Structure 1
Amino acid sequence: MLKKLFKSFRSPLRRGKHPHSTPEVLNSSQHPINRGEISRYAISVVERLQHAGYQAYLVGGCVRDLLLDIDPKDFDVATSATPEQVRAEFRNARVIGRRFKLVHVHFGREIIEVATFRANHPEGDEEENSNLSSRNESGRILRDNVYGSLENDAQRRDFTINALYYDPATERILDYANGVHDIRNHLIRLIGDPTQRYQEDPVRMLRAVRFAAKLDFDIEKHSAAPIYKLAPMLRDIPSARLFDEVLKLFLAGYAVYTYELLVDYGLFGQLFPASAAALKHNPDYTDCLIRNALANTDLRIQQGKTVTPAFLFAALLWPALPARVIKLQERGLPAIPAMQEAAQQLISEQCQLIAVPKRFTLPIREIWDMQERLPRRSGKRSDLLLENPRFRAGYDFLLLRESAGEETGGLGDWWTDYQDASDSERRGMIRDLSSQDDSAAPRKRRRSGSKRKRAPGASGAPKPAAGE
């Protein structure tokens, strides 16, 4: 398909690591982009900036996706105008960001993001005296507001497939880094030296995986080679930023493939170390549960249904939880308090790496807590659990555990039937449980002279809901 789309264009197969200063130019007859497919607001922003005397282009992911016949999620603009100059042109614009200043131009619910052309960062003393650009000792860029030319901007972009500029006025594409060639060959390739580019921003390793999964591309071998070694640099990334990146990785409709790539490149363990340890010690169960959860997430996204990050994180972290619960029970804690204590510890450790907001950590704990409560169905407990606002999420999570091969004694089927049963049928199901418990309980010899009666169900704390 792509060969047909670009049949009249022949890009030289350069193997150099740097983009060329003179771009390859694709005229309207040499590419499949139709102006009518582009947001009219994005075109309006570009044309207004051009009429004001600035260079302006649609850039990056929107151009790439249009070439691949994918509907762009949003439209970004690159321009020679500074953020303040862009702001002066649009009343509906707002300058945002500190590390990387951008302008958001608002058109109702649609936002067109405008970025000024960036240049490479100064080195040595010049950089130390600059308040516009800064790196730390490992080479990571802390601020990125050094402005430059269009050619500079192309050189400092991360991947070749994102260094494509489209001018809606002339309908031409400017390709500075052989991005069209890599699109045709389904390759994710970094611009420049891969090690240096990852050191500048380790999140680029996650972006490489995300684009590879989204587009079903391969990461070019030289761009892939340093990832495993540099993966620990993700620990230096602010935890709030990693939370945003994890949502992009797993809530875009291709979470299963993303997970596979993260594991292959040693990135999953940097994001979820406790779960990676569980994957090593109990690979079949852990891998199956995570895959099933992510497959369900992908399906819901494809069906246009909502997905809550709480359920996603509950599944990603769950395999590390049961062993901690067992250890706490062995120290004498009852099942539910042991579950709550282990959950608190695990979530606290995870939030040091990925800053999961409290609005999600609370539901995570409630979903896990429900796993200890769902087996307790005697008396009125079953009806009270049905009324719990977290019942549905807890029930779905129970089915997820069973789908991974966890033995629960038919608990999932029981709750499925209970939800559909009438009141009289429910009472019968509870009586059946009581009779099963009575028949299963061994008779105990009464101690002579003992007047103390043993409380029902006091034969010891139950095991955690999920065994290993």
Structure 2
Amino acid sequence: MQLRPKIAPYIVEIISQLQNAGYEAYIVGGAVRDFLLNRQPKDYDLSTSATPEQIKKVFRDRHVLIIGKRFRLVHLHHHGEIIEISTFRKRPQDQTELRRPGKQAPEHMIFQDNEFGTAEEDAWRRDFTINAIFYDPVNDKIVDYTGMGMKDLAAKTVRSIGDPVLRFEEDPVRILRALKLVGQYDFTMDAETESAVTKCIEFIVHASASRLTLELEKILKNPYGHLILETFHRYGFLKRFLPFIDSCWGTPACDYMMKLLEERNRRILEGKYRDSISLAMSIMTLPFAEKLISDREPGQLWNYLPDIAEDLRQILLKVLNPGTPTKRAVAAAVRTLMLQERIKNLMIKKLVSHPGYSHARELGIIQNNVMWKFWHYEEQLPPPEPRSEKRRRGRRHGRKRSAVPVPAGETTGTCH
């Protein structure tokens, strides 16, 4: 299979620069997997024999940052995009000294992963065979060190490299990633990997909150996120990842949320809207807000109350707990929800210039497609203004955008 024509030219140039400097360099992981599946990857991960300091030297005329403590790597900035470049690793040595006193963790859990190795050593320490395929776009060469990656990809099989229990002990987030592969690609796990997922599922409590929040953000952006959540629930993982949603599974509110999320994802795949995290947060909150604030059925929104913004914020945090989304994303999601009554009733005079109109309009269209079913509804909602026009008018009138106020308080209740 010819992959070279699918690769962005600037990625080929980055690989070429590293190779010309005397280092091995490949595209690795999910990007190679997605290209081989004829899907467009969301980003590129590159790996090289160069150390972070050597990478920075090769690209000394570019914006380059060395980041990470547990896993040091390089962020190379390219026209607003961040390209991650890691150094080949090998399996780390005993990490007993790095374990936190008094905190129980899986015996073989990795706390630092900064022991550099060869390309082959790097492939064998990865999580699954389908994620251990390397591609050299300069020479148009696929390298499958495990000998199973291409076969498992063709068979749609998620297989751990080596002992899956050991792999999940080393990094419990691999359990989440195995289930993501099952949901997103409709793959199946081999018997040994599936058994280990069931046996080790409780290990996820040892993953850091920051890493789990990052994985949540990836799922919120993912146009197959609804399938991933269904897989999480089927394997009993959802109650550990999003316990509120798991407790509501099968209720009218949760069913409506999943339908809204599926419709949003369909529109992303069709190129009708972007993969906004805050919009996904609004979608996941809205049905539960209808139930908890006004005890209404799906699609009926809520009564307006003086403290509605804070109520919505608290419900959103409850829905996404233990994830910790950014304040900016939370404020944007609450703003989108606050505009839904006006959007539903087409009270849109002067709303087109509102900074939250674009997301609010899209959420209204999604609700209408799933539940409201108003005739010619989308045609009655003017398209959002281009961002450049809003910026010009904002400068002209000296406006400053302000976030939704976030006073203290808590909304309680259940979705049943």
C-alpha displacement of 1:190: 1.6
1:317 aligned residue (273, 277, 285) = 285
SS of corresponding position for 2:305: helix
Percent of aligned positions that are identical? 29
C-alpha displacement of 1:182: 0.4
CA distance in 2, matches of 1:402, 1:38: 38
1:158 aligned residue (106, 121, 127) = 127
Q: 1:175 matched to which residue of 2?
A: 144
Q: 1:144 matched to which residue of 2?
A: 113
C-alpha displacement of 1:44: 3.4
SS of corresponding position for 2:233: helix
1:242 aligned residue (208, 212, 219) = 212
Give structure 2 stretches of 5+ with no counterpart. 296-302, 382-414
Q: Does 1:105 align with 2:73?
A: no
SS of corresponding position for 1:144: coil
Once the two structures are superposed, the pairs formed by residues 221-300 of structure 1 within 5 Å of their partners are: 221-280=191-250, 282=251, 284-300=252-268
Q: 2:12 matched to which residue of 1?
A: 43
Q: Does 1:191 align with 2:168?
A: no
Q: State the TM-score, normalized to the length of structure 1.
A: 0.66
- Conserved 8 A contact 2:313-2:330: no
CA distance in 1, matches of 2:248, 2:5: 50
SS of corresponding position for 1:336: coil
Q: Does 1:95 align with 2:66?
A: yes
1:391/1:58 CA distance change after superposition, 3 Å: closer
C-alpha displacement of 1:157: 0.7
- Conserved 8 A contact 2:344-2:364: no
SS of corresponding position for 2:273: coil
1:194/1:401 CA distance change after superposition, 3 Å: same
Once the two structures are superposed, the pairs formed by residues 23-102 of structure 1 within 5 Å of their partners are: 32-91=1-60, 92=62, 93-102=64-73
- Conserved 8 A contact 2:45-2:84: yes
Q: 2:327 matched to which residue of 1?
A: 358
C-alpha displacement of 1:304: 4.5
Once the two structures are superposed, the pairs formed by residues 420-435 of structure 1 within 5 Å of their partners are: none
* 267-276 vs 79-88, greater mean Cα deviation: 267-276
Number of residue-to-residue matches in the alignment: 368
CA distance in 1, matches of 2:247, 2:280: 18
Q: 2:392 matched to which residue of 1?
A: none
- Conserved 8 A contact 1:289-1:315: yes
Q: Does 1:302 align with 2:263?
A: no
CA distance in 2, matches of 1:395, 1:277: 30
C-alpha displacement of 1:118: 0.6
C-alpha displacement of 1:397: 5.2
1:298 partner amino acid: R
* 148-157 vs 42-51, greater mean Cα deviation: 42-51
2:189 partner amino acid: I
C-alpha displacement of 1:111: 4.7
SS of corresponding position for 2:239: helix
Give structure 1 stretches of 5+ with no counterpart. 1-31, 328-333, 421-466
CA distance in 2, matches of 1:414, 1:151: 59
CA offset digits 1:147-194 (Å, max 9, x no partner):
122222111111101212233455432212210110111112121222
- Conserved 8 A contact 2:87-2:116: yes
CA distance in 2, matches of 1:186, 1:279: 28
2:284 partner amino acid: L
Q: 2:87 matched to which residue of 1?
A: 116
Bigger radius of gyration among the two: 1
Q: 2:173 matched to which residue of 1?
A: 203
SS of corresponding position for 2:91: coil
1:393/1:163 CA distance change after superposition, 3 Å: closer
- Conserved 8 A contact 1:278-1:319: no
C-alpha displacement of 1:349: 3.8
1:150 partner amino acid: A
1:219/1:299 CA distance change after superposition, 3 Å: farther
C-alpha displacement of 1:375: 12
CA distance in 1, matches of 2:245, 2:330: 16
C-alpha displacement of 1:345: 3.4
CA distance in 2, matches of 1:416, 1:47: 51
CA distance in 2, matches of 1:413, 1:204: 44
CA offset digits 1:308-332 (Å, max 9, x no partner):
32232222234444554369xxxxx
CA distance in 2, matches of 1:52, 1:287: 54
CA distance in 2, matches of 1:231, 1:202: 8
- Conserved 8 A contact 2:263-2:370: no
2:66 partner amino acid: V
- Conserved 8 A contact 1:102-1:116: yes
C-alpha displacement of 1:386: 6.0
C-alpha displacement of 1:339: 4.8
CA distance in 2, matches of 1:101, 1:375: 46
CA distance in 1, matches of 2:98, 2:230: 43
Q: Does 1:345 align with 2:314?
A: yes
CA distance in 1, matches of 2:51, 2:258: 45
1:399/1:200 CA distance change after superposition, 3 Å: same
1:295/1:228 CA distance change after superposition, 3 Å: farther
- Conserved 8 A contact 1:289-1:404: no
CA distance in 2, matches of 1:323, 1:37: 46
C-alpha displacement of 1:38: 3.0
Q: State the TM-score, normalized to the length of structure 2.
A: 0.73
